[in-house]
């Protein structure tokens, strides 16, 4: 099988590339290193090739030749994902989400490939329903600081759904809830990377707002297992977007407590203003993934944080 991963030099994509190589697939990675890093890529092997591609610009007519031939499956992950990074150039973020997925859908159609698209819990916005199941339509500001990402991802879902409805592409959507693990960038800016790096440096841990907002944290290997299960699902069994996340729910203050127990250190805290439109709570309902994919996350936060801290310790040396 020949899999293409867009955004394969990023955090999630680099885990996915390793998992696909480990099961014997040929893997093409497209990335423009907007937030990804060359060092995240798996060691060079005959089963993998890399192309520097911006998915906002690539079309079925101008894509690079691959020695593996046509794509069987396309994993469309390319997009900055952390709030500081996706807000740095909001127009770029929206274009990557919307024009990028349009281009990838056309390429999938030309190749007869299945397309797996990385959507997000952000499509639920600042939710008025808790926890969030796939049938909830969300509460999203169309003109706020997070809108480039949230609305870009919502438009991408719409386009995928219409390509499915019109029978043009076997496209599948998975909505990722806050995921963490090895290969995150130390400057990624998300809560887990910021807290781990601060704890390792002996600096104070930055809490935005009062720290009573909640998130659910999924370890990378669990997420990848869910993505692969969705990729392997027979076409007739796919029936709409699927949440992939760990339903454990923690306030940001509780996250500090877990980190203290993992590091065995009392951590200093510094408070900063809560960013605009920061969702107050997030927790996935994962019954759909459990039923359709037979998938559940296995790695609890303490275990995942222990591994992630060990990774960041080598990164910041």
For ligand UDP, the closer of residues 73 and 178 by Cβ is 178
> Does 140 engage in binding with ligand NAD (CB under 6 A)?
no
> Does 80 engage in binding with ligand NAD (CB under 6 A)?
yes
> Does 179 engage in binding with ligand NAD (CB under 6 A)?
yes
Q: Least distance in Å: CB of 40 to ligand UDP? A: 19
For residue 4, what are the CA distances in angstroms to 52, 112, 126, 244? 13, 13, 33, 21
Residue located via tokens 């099988």: 1
> Cα–Cα distance between 6 and 80 in angstroms, integer?
12
- Catalytic residue list contains 219: no
Contact 222, 263 (CB under 8 A): no
> Does 54 engage in binding with ligand NAD (CB under 6 A)?
yes
Contacts 24+ apart (CB under 8 A), 59-64: 59/103, 59/106, 59/107, 60/106, 60/107, 60/109, 60/110, 60/111, 63/107
**Catalytic site residue from 86, 92, 136, 149:** 149
Binding residue (CB under 6 A) for ligand UDP from 187, 261, 275, 287: 275
Residue 139 DSSP code: B
Q: Which two tokens stand for residue 246?
A: 């760990």
Residue 213, contacted partner among ligand UDP, ligand NAD, none, CB below 5-8 A by kind: ligand UDP
Binding residue (CB under 6 A) for ligand NAD from 4, 78, 148, 285: 78
Residue located via tokens 């990848």: 224
Q: Least distance in Å: CB of 250 to ligand UDP? A: 10
Q: Which two tokens stand for residue 167?
A: 């029978």
Residues marked active site are found at 149
Site for ligand UDP, rule CB under 6 A: 82-83, 178, 190-191, 194, 206-208, 213, 215, 252, 274-275, 278
């Amino acid at each position: 099988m020949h899999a293409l991963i867009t955004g394969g030099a990023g955090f999630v994509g680099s885990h996915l590339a390793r998992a696909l190589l480990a099961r014997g697939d040929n893997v093409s990675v497209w990335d423009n290193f907007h937030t990804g890093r060359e060092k995240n890529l798996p060691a060079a092997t005959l089963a993998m090739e890399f192309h520097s591609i911006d998915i906002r610009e690539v079309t079925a007519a101008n894509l690079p030749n691959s020695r593996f031939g046509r794509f069987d499956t396309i994993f469309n992950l390319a997009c900055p994902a952390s709030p500081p990074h996706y807000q740095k150039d909001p127009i770029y973020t929206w274009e990557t989400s919307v024009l990028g997925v349009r281009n990838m859908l056309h390429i999938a159609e030309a190749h007869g490939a299945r397309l797996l698209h990385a959507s997000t819990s952000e499509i639920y916005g600042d939710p008025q329903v808790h926890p969030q199941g796939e049938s909830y339509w969300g509460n999203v500001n169309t003109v706020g600081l997070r809108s480039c990402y949230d609305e870009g991802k919502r438009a991408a879902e719409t386009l995928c759904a219409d390509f499915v409805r019109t029978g043009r592409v076997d496209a599948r959507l998975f909505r990722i809830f806050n995921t963490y693990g090895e290969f995150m960038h130390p400057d990624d800016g998300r809560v887990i990377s910021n807290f781990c790096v601060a704890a390792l440096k002996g600096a104070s841990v930055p809490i935005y707002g009062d720290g009573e907002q909640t998130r659910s944290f999924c370890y990378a290997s669990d997420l990848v297992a869910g993505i692969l299960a969705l990729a392997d699902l027979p076409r007739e069994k796919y029936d709409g977007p699927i949440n992939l996340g760990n339903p454990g729910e923690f306030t940001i203050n509780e996250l500090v407590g877990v980190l203290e127990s993992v590091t065995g250190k009392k951590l200093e805290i510094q408070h900063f203003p809560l960013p605009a439109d920061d969702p107050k709570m997030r927790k996935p309902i994962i019954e759909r993934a459990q039923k359709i994919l037979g998938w559940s996350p296995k790695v609890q936060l303490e275990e995942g944080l222990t591994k992630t801290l060990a990774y960041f310790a080598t990164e910041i040396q």
